[in-house]
Structure formats: structure tokens, C-alpha cells
């Protein structure tokens, strides 16, 4: 534990000094931490946060494997031309979870499955597909089912 605290202190100290360094020193540091030259014409304002992240990553650790996988999934979805609502991560829901929403006097119930969602006995890959089925218009599934509001509430308590 003491070793980790010492490493965190050194990382903070290293990052805090980055804005004081001249561009040439930042470029030298880039080569040290990335093992290659910095992209040509990269602005100083971008060098600093990239270097700060890399210093932290090398000392304390980088993104979790699940986070990297989720970012890759979003990137692939965007490459396929899906809109950002479909590409954005939905809160993780365990299979068996039921999502219930009132709509025009009736109760809409969706079950989370291993491979997606079940609505009225039909299988769907996304909540957005179900929302379109119900409303006949393009909807963000997480927004239609109120999941964005739940995520925003959770996120605001962490700030």
C-alpha cells in the first residue's frame, strides 16, 4: 500500500510539472513514454494531457479490459454509421432484468436476455429497435425507457 501511495505521489508530481515544460522537453518526454516520435504538428495543449495520461497509465495502470472492449464496440458501431444513441453504452443490465414503462395507457415490459432483449416473445438486439416498434418513430431506446435519467442521476452524485 505504501508503495502505491508513493507511486501516486510521483505521478501527481510528474503531471503537475508538465504545463511548466517547454515544447521541446514535452516532445522528448513523449518519445520516452511512448517509444516513438510525437505526431507532427501536435499542439502543446494536446501534448500535456496525452503525456499526463500515459505517465499515469504506466505507473498505476490503464483502462480495464471491459472498458477497452466497450470503447471498441462503440467505435465499430460508429464506423457502421449507427447514430450516437445506438452506439453509446447502455447501463449494464443482468439477464432476467425487467424494464417496465407505461405507454399510452398500457404497460410495456421488456426482459433483458443474454443476447439482447425480449419484447412480446420477439428477440431484439437493442432497446432502440423496441422503442421504434412501439412508437413507430425513431427513439433512443435508453431514453424511451428512462435509462438515461437513471444514469444521469447516478453520475451527478459522483461529481
Name the residue ranges covered by the structural domains of the chain.
2-60, 87-144
Sign, Cα dihedral of 21, 25, 30, 32? negative
pLDDT, position 151: 47
Residues 60, 133: Cα–Cα separation, whole Å: 46
Q: Mean pLDDT, the chain, as a whole number?
A: 83
Q: What integer is the mean pLDDT of 148-152?
A: 54
Give the pLDDT band (50/70/90) at residue 9: confident
Please tell me what DSSP assigns to residue 91: P
Q: 124 - beta bridge partners? A: 117
Q: What integer is the mean pLDDT of 117-135?
A: 93
Does the global pTM surpass 0.75? Answer: no
What are the cell numbers at 37?
Answer: 516520435
pLDDT, position 2: 53
Residues 16, 158: Cα–Cα separation, whole Å: 24
What are the cell numbers at 34?
Answer: 511512448
Q: Closest Cα to residue 27, out of 58, 53, 50, 57? A: 50
Element (H, E) at 154: helix 147-157
| pLDDT tens-digit readout, 31-88 | 999 999 999 999 999 999 999 999 998 888 888 887 888 788 888 878 888 765 555 5
Residue with cell 501516486: 8
Amino acid at each position: 500500500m505504501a508503495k502505491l501511495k508513493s507511486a501516486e505521489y510521483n505521478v501527481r508530481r510528474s503531471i503537475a510539472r508538465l504545463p511548466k515544460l517547454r515544447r521541446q522537453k514535452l516532445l522528448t518526454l513523449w518519445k520516452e513514454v511512448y517509444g516513438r516520435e510525437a505526431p507532427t504538428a501536435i499542439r502543446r495543449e494536446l501534448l500535456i494531457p496525452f503525456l499526463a495520461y500515459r505517465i499515469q497509465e504506466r505507473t498505476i495502470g490503464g483502462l480495464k479490459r471491459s472498458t477497452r472492449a466497450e470503447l471498441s464496440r462503440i467505435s465499430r458501431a460508429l464506423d457502421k454509421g449507427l447514430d450516437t444513441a445506438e452506439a453509446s453504452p447502455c447501463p449494464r443490465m443482468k439477464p432476467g432484468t425487467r424494464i417496465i414503462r407505461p405507454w399510452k395507457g398500457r404497460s410495456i415490459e421488456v426482459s433483458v436476455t443474454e443476447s439482447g432483449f425480449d419484447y412480446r416473445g420477439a428477440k431484439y438486439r437493442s432497446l432502440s429497435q423496441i422503442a421504434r416498434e412501439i412508437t413507430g418513430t425513431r427513439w433512443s431506446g435508453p431514453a424511451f425507457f428512462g435509462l438515461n435519467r437513471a444514469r444521469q442521476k447516478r453520475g451527478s452524485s459522483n461529481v
